[in-house]
Amino acid sequence: MKTIVSVIPVEDEDKRLLEQAAPGYRLLFAQPREIPADGLRDAEVILGNVPRSVLREAIRLRWLQLNSAGADLYLQPGVLPEGVQLTNATGAYGPAVSEHLLAMTLELMKKLHLYRDNQQDKLWRDEGTVTGIADAVFLVVGLGDIGSCYARSVHALGGRVIGVRRHAGETPPYAERLVTADKLDEVLPLADVVVLCLPGTRETAALFSARRLALMKRGAFLLNGGRGTAVDTQALCDALRSGRLAGAGLDVTDPEPLPADHPLWTLPNAVITPHISGWYHMRQTQRRIVRLCAENLRRYVAGDPLLNLVDPATGYRQFRGCDRFGNED
């Protein structure tokens, strides 16, 4: 019998949903590093991120569905056999990651990180003036699922949004302006808050170099919920240390994990979390991933095009145009 291996954490109702989506297939549920040898050998489909090294043993593999939005690790030469379809979980992480970024935004603007530090020292001290979301300009670089969710949230709170994306299109109702990536240098000086929601690709590597960080408004905040490689970490440390940037909220860093002796840890205006804004920390995210897998299983069995096919040349989900709100589809 044809085999589908799933390494996505599932409950009984999730198993039933996946099984119903692929009648006639054997579904094998396992931990990523505990897949039985025969299951791996027979797997025509794998659902979830497995160690790249085991893919050499998946000799019948035709499709790998990631449970992550980022696909960069699986696009490296020699990882996937030729002809294997690769899909990602774009669309599952918008609420979780955007809410995490919004929390970091407020923490930095209201200096809550400083007051938390003061609490640890039992220090009752006023940390001075703060900033707010209303009327602030937010430059969202990467207006896909996560970026558009974040943009909608700050717009609802009175923020003024400028969106940056790869393809031109209609400006969505939650943004004042939409520009393509070649206009990034032009709009950077306008922003009070710059939010990065980018995948790890050749074109995004060190996109925020020392030169680009210097183009940002003095006293602006930088937030990164995409990939740490999009930012020159040393240049960011210099900008934070000098006070040119008021603060940075980072759920991703370069390198990862961030070494214990890295200077970024000790900067009081840096808020760091260990790449945990997505994953399965919210049950809602896990449910979205399972529903995406079930829909793609139905499509695969029926011979229909899969959702979220990754373009190996760009590392992005294949571009199919923009929806009526200006989000990349």
What are the backbone angles phi and psi of residue 249, rounded to the nearest 5°? -115, 115
Q: What angle do CA 133, 135, 137 make, to 5 degrees?
A: 80
Q: Which of 201, 100, 96 is nearest to 142 (CA)?
A: 201
DSSP letter string, 144-195? SHHHHHHHHHHHHTT-EEEEEESS--PPPTT-SEEEEGGGHHHHGGG-SEEE
Give CA–CA dist 224/231, Å, rounded: 9
Give CA–CA dist 206/228, Å, rounded: 9
| Strand order across the 220-224 sheet | 177-180, 160-165, 137-141, 193-196, 220-224, 245-250, 270-272
First to last CA, the chain: 35
Angle between helices 145-156 and 94-109 (to 10 degrees): 50
**Per-residue tokens: 165:** 């994306």
Q: Tokens 């690709």 identify what position?
A: 201
Give CA–CA dist 246/222, Å, rounded: 8
| Burial of residue 107, with CB atoms counted within 10 A of its CB: 0-12 exposed, 13-18 middle, 19 or more buried | middle
Give CA–CA dist 47/39, Å, rounded: 13
Q: Which residues are catalytic?
A: 227, 256, 275
Radius of gyration, alpha carbons of the chain: 21
C-alpha to C-alpha distances, 324 to 1, 89, 115, 149, 321, nearest whole angstrom: 43, 21, 42, 15, 10
